Amino acid sequence: MKPATAGATILVGVFGDPVAHSVSPAMHNRAFEALGLDWCYLPFHVSPADLGVALRALPVLGLRGVNLTIPHKEAALAHLDSVEETARLIGAVNTVVQEKGRLAGYNTDAAGFLDTLDEAGFDPGGARAVLLGAGGAARAVAVALAGRDVAALTIIGRTPARGEAIAELVRRRCRGPVTAVAWTPAAVRQELAGADLVVNATPVGMYPRGAEPPPVPARWLPERVFVYDLVFNPPATRLVRAARRRGLRAMGGLRMLVCQGARAFRLWTGREPPRDLMEAAGRRALRARKPPADTV
Ligand code: NAP
């Protein structure tokens, strides 16, 4: 089938359910504008039942690619012509590139997370890392950290089997020991005490529940720990603010959203996007949007 063209404008977008609250269109469209590219990024509300049909429509409609967000990241693997190694390992695709009718899947979350650590000047090599949560984001972060030679990786999960599954996945790839621990106050406190890097990969603290207590009390964080909250709305969660008040280095999840998006942008366009402009656009979109969804 001959791919259709969408005039001069090249289209990309995001498939999600829900998708209306995604801040990715604002970030990418700002970058296209800044680089003078005649491209447009659109949100597409795609139900799980329609994912295969929607992906197969990319060449027909002339789309260069899409991001995938909840609930499509795992299911997409079955509908693609190729999947790069990291995405296959994580078991989730967040970026699809359409090239001559073929669909290639990538996961830019893991590399985007590492980009932010590099930007912040934090080297995870040799660090004792503690991951709070054992869902999709924790899986991507665990794969990323295992590839960067952390000295130890502990996954603290509310559902122990999910933490153990992630530990099992990355154990062979990690220089240091990888342990899954059940989420009890005593275990959390003990693991935090020895940490150099703590990553919150739970949605605790996310808008509109931002008033709830942080996932762990800030007073349990040791001196010199680097605190990373993957939650990006609000950009500075209660955990991040409490850690900063204690004089600790702490960052929220918005920059990871920017960096994973920047990698998708490069895969589609071959160009380097202006990350700071993308972040500013993302911040503006977050301020303007209404609850309750938290989709990328
Ligand atoms: P997910 O797959 O639903 O996983 C959430 C994890 O958090 C699960 O392990 C869940 O436990 C655990 N959890 C939920 N509530 C908890 C609580 N009250 N106490 C302890 N553990 C709790 O979600 P996800 O896709 O991994 O996303 C997690 C967070 O990361 C979200 O806020 C998301 O927005 C954010 N995120 C940010 C980026 C970024 O670019 N910054 C990228 C991806 C995700 P169970 O296993 O028991 O259900």
Return the best residue to mutate from 116, 202, 207, 255 for the ligand 1 pocket (most ligand atoms within 8 A of CB): 202
pLDDT bracket for residue 203 (50, 70, 90): very high
Residue 281 pLDDT > 60: yes
195-87-82 Cα angle (round to 5): 170
CA end-to-end span of the chain: 32
Residue 256 pLDDT > 50: yes
Greatest alpha-carbon pair distance for the chain in Å reads 61
Class of the CATH-defined domain 10-107+256-295 = alpha beta
Task: Check pocket membership of 110 for ligand 1, CB cut-off 6 A.
Answer: no
> How many Å apart are CA 174 and CA 226, to the nearest integer?
20
pLDDT bracket for residue 291 (50, 70, 90): low
- Which residue intervals of the chain bear CATH 3.40.50.720? 110-252
Nearest CA to ligand 1 atom 14: 202
- Which residue intervals of the chain bear CATH 3.40.50.10860? 10-107+256-295
135 C-alpha to ligand 1 centroid (Å): 5
Helix axes 275-288, 254-269, angle to 10 degrees: 120
168 C-alpha to ligand 1 centroid (Å): 19
> How many Å apart are CA 64 and CA 156, to the nearest integer?
39
Amino acid present at 100: K
Task: Check pocket membership of 253 for ligand 1, CB cut-off 6 A.
Answer: yes
Q: What is the pLDDT of residues 72-109, one digit of tens each?
A: 999 999 999 999 999 999 999 999 999 999 999 999 99
Task: Check pocket membership of 164 for ligand 1, CB cut-off 6 A.
Answer: no
Task: Check pocket membership of 184 for ligand 1, CB cut-off 6 A.
Answer: no
**CATH code of the domain made up of 110-252:** 3.40.50.720
Closest CA to 76 of 57, 51, 47: 51
pTM score above 0.85: yes
